């Protein structure tokens, strides 16, 4: 074993890919290790103009605020330059029985009392209860009125309600690129990787570009999208398909102009179930992004396009000028994400489907984790790779369970797509066991192994009880003290909802003010 001083530290990183994954990863690393020059840290990002970024992915998770803050951009610049709006959760329509009345929220703000006690059992036993999200959280009331989560005087990245963003994916990468290159010293190359050269050990030694440049580095980050250039094509790490659990494998996407400059902007992603999948509807400041993700096993491309047009037609959004784009989705993830001196982030690592916007949050978590593990990579990367792979394999498995939950709880019988989604053989054992466990006990922190879960017990409560799942806690588990606390907290949530709905500006109104005046810097 060489002496410590001789061990090569990881100082040179090459990121392959200039989509959302590439720029977030480059930004997080470059901001965490800002020293450049001889003894410093160097990040190079290479992207190919011939293979543009996928250009979809407009819904995020509240973690994005901490990520943008870490990278060092201002919220005002981000909102202005990415046509971004505030997202406060998801609104699910027609998922339970397909009727007109069938709708519920999964808000980002935690249920009342969540930091102290599990109060869900007391909502369940209240015979006069409103929906779970309405009783246990003030945020559905805000979302229902398309209000913002903050005032113009609320400092950047903070809110009166928890929030994330909807953003223009085509503008987000270039926005981060300008900041990463101008402010963080990231070297940006436009060229195409045509060959990967290895050392005797099997590590990558350098990448060869079309223009003949050789790019050497200590660590290579594969953000090359679905082409999965390094982790897939070079290392041949197997892809674990999830298509037998999550049936979505195609999408039609379209951009819808607003009819007027003052059209309200929705505060949540609207996900409306269809016969063979669901339609996403996302409001930005300049347009809406709408798309139908569906399963080709149950629906032809033409049939799906027609269903999407029906959705648009019912809202008065159909016009001759719309241009529809078809996207293939290969649902699954790699068996491992970090192999030798290469780690995959973004679509190259995997993708499931856009339900609950789990892809960008996984990119953020990956970038943060790489930054945390890098200092330990001097003596070799085996331990860092093992830790990363264990954590992210767990995360992908949990996301599969959480997404599948939405389909398993549906009672729709109008198509084979919905019926087959409830077939026992398509449900992972881990999810089935949880569902049995949650018959007697409302989801809680201890039900999950990790401190940083992508979807916490709160998210499970919102989906389970939003979709009408019943838990039957034994009477001896309940007590009058917590019953009183639950009543008090639910009344508090109702009072807070009334106060906020009377005082918060509309999403559109606040975003227009941000354009004019900007938010208060922290
Ligand atoms: C229909 C759909 C809807 C989605 N909605 C959401 C959502 O709401 N929320 C969410 O979180 N996520 C969503 N996603 C996922 C999201 O779009 C991606 O996770 C995100 O855009 C990151 O993509 P990427 O950077 O990994 O890949 P890409 O954007 O595909 O970028 C790949 C990059 O690699 C480069 N590259 C490839 N090959 C080479 C080469 N040989 N040499 C040099 N460069 C190369 C390309 O030039 C490009 O810059 C959605 C995905 C789909 C398909």
> Is 224's C-beta closer than 6 angstroms to any atom of ligand 1?
yes
- For 289-333, how does the pLDDT look when each residue is reduced to its tens digit (9 = 90+)? 999 999 999 999 999 999 999 999 999 999 889 999 999 999 999
Of 275-279, 291-295, 379-383, 471-475, the range with the lowest mean pLDDT is 379-383
Q: Is the pLDDT of residue 245 over 90?
A: yes
| pLDDT attached to residue 128 | 74
CA of 301 to the centre of ligand 1 (A): 22
Q: Which long-range contacts (CB under 8 A, 24 or more apart) does 6-10 make?
A: 7/378, 7/379, 7/380, 8/218, 8/378, 9/218, 9/377, 9/378, 10/218, 10/219, 10/374, 10/377, 10/378, 10/381
Encoding tokens for residue 479?
């007590």
Q: What average pLDDT is seen over the chain?
A: 95
Encoding tokens for residue 502?
């009377």
Q: Is the pLDDT of residue 342 over 60?
A: yes
Sheet holding 332-334, edge to edge: 239-241, 332-334, 350-351
Q: Is the pLDDT of residue 385 over 90?
A: yes
> Is 346's C-beta closer than 6 angstroms to any atom of ligand 1?
yes
CA of 283 to the centre of ligand 1 (A): 20
> Is 520's C-beta closer than 6 angstroms to any atom of ligand 1?
no
Degrees, nearest 5: CA angle 384-390-396: 125
> Is 362's C-beta closer than 6 angstroms to any atom of ligand 1?
no
| pLDDT attached to residue 4 | 52
> Is 365's C-beta closer than 6 angstroms to any atom of ligand 1?
no
High-pLDDT (> 90) share of the chain, %: 90
- For 141-156, how does the pLDDT look when each residue is reduced to its tens digit (9 = 90+)? 999 999 999 999 999 9
DSSP 455: S
The two beta strands, 277-283 and 269-274, are antiparallel
pLDDT class of 129 with cuts at 50, 70, 90: confident
- For 438-486, how does the pLDDT look when each residue is reduced to its tens digit (9 = 90+)? 999 999 998 988 878 999 999 999 999 999 999 999 999 899 999 999 9
Encoding tokens for residue 230?
């390094």
> pTM (2 decimals)?
0.97
| pLDDT attached to residue 449 | 82
Q: What are phi and psi of 227, to 5 degrees?
A: -70, -20
User: Between 206 and 6, where is the model more confident?
Assistant: 206
**Which one of 15, 16, 17 would you pick to mutate in the ligand 1 pocket, going by the greatest count of ligand atoms within 8 A of its CB?**
17
- For 410-421, how does the pLDDT look when each residue is reduced to its tens digit (9 = 90+)? 999 999 999 999
- For 4-47, how does the pLDDT look when each residue is reduced to its tens digit (9 = 90+)? 545 557 899 999 999 999 999 999 999 999 999 888 999 999 99
> Is 232's C-beta closer than 6 angstroms to any atom of ligand 1?
no
CA of 348 to the centre of ligand 1 (A): 8
Degrees, nearest 5: CA angle 320-323-326: 135
> Is 230's C-beta closer than 6 angstroms to any atom of ligand 1?
no
What's the whole-number mean pLDDT along residues 175-198? 98
User: Which atom of ligand 1 lies closest to the CA of 225?
Assistant: 27
CA of 484 to the centre of ligand 1 (A): 49
CA of 341 to the centre of ligand 1 (A): 22
Q: Is the pLDDT of residue 3 over 70?
A: no
What's the whole-number mean pLDDT along residues 356-360? 97
What's the whole-number mean pLDDT along residues 52-74? 95
What's the whole-number mean pLDDT along residues 49-67? 94
């Amino acid at each position: 074993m060489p002496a410590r001083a001789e061990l090569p530290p990881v100082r040179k990183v090459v990121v392959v890919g200039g989509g959302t994954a590439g720029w977030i990863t480059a930004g997080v690393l470059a901001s965490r290790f800002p020293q450049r020059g001889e003894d410093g840290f160097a990040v190079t990002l290479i992207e190919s103009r011939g293979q543009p970024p996928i250009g979809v992915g407009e819904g995020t998770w509240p973690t994005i605020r901490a990520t943008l803050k870490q990278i060092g951009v201002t919220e005002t610049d981000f909102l202005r330059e990415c046509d971004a709006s505030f997202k406060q959760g998801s609104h699910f329509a027609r998922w339970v029985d397909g009727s007109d009345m069938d709708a519920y929220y999964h808000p980002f703000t935690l249920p009342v009392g969540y930091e102290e006690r599990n109060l869900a059992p007391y909502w369940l036993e209240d015979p006069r209860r409103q929906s779970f999200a309405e009783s246990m959280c003030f945020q559905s009331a805000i979302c229902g009125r398309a209000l913002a989560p903050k005032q113009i005087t609320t400092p950047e990245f903070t809110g009166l309600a928890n929030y994330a963003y909807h953003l223009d994916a085509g503008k987000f990468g270039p926005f981060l690129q300008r900041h990463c290159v101008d402010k963080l010293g990231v070297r940006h190359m436009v060229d195409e990787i045509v060959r990967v050269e290895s050392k005797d050990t099997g590590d990558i030694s350098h990448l060869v570009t079309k223009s003949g440049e050789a790019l050497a580095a200590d660590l290579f980050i594969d953000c090359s999208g679905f082409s999965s250039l390094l982790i897939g094509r070079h290392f041949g790490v197997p892809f674990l398909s999830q298509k037998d659990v999550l049936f979505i494998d195609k999408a039609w996407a379209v951009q819808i102009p607003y009819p007027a400059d003052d059209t309200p902007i929705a505060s949540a992603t609207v996900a409306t179930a269809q016969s063979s999948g669901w339609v996403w509807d996302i409001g930005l400041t300049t347009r809406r992004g709408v798309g139908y993700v569906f399963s080709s096993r149950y629906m032809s491309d033409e049939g799906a396009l027609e269903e999407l047009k029906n959705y648009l037609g019912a809202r008065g959004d159909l016009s001759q000028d719309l241009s529809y784009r078809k996207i293939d989705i290969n649902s699954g993830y790699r068996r491992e994400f970090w192999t030798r001196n290469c780690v995959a982030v973004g679509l190259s690592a995997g993708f499931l489907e856009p339900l609950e916007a789990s892809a960008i949050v996984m990119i953020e978590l990956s970038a943060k984790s790489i930054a945390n593990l890098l200092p330990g990579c001097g003596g070799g990367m085996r331990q860092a790779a093992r830790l990363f792979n264990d954590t992210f394999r767990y995360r992908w498995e949990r996301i599969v369970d959480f997404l599948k939950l939405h389909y398993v709880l549906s009672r729709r019988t109008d198509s084979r797509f919905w019926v087959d989604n409830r077939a026992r053989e398509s449900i992972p054992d881990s999810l089935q066991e949880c569902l049995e466990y949650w018959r007697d006990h409302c989801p809680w922190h201890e039900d999950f192994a990790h401190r940083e879960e992508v979807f916490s017990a709160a998210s499970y409560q919102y989906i389970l009880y939003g979709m009408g799942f019943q838990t039957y806690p034994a009477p001896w588990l309940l007590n009058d003290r917590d019953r009183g606390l639950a009543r008090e907290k639910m009344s508090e949530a109702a009072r807070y909802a009334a106060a906020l709905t009377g005082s918060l500006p509309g999403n559109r109104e606040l975003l227009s003010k941000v354009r004019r005046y900007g938010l208060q810097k922290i």
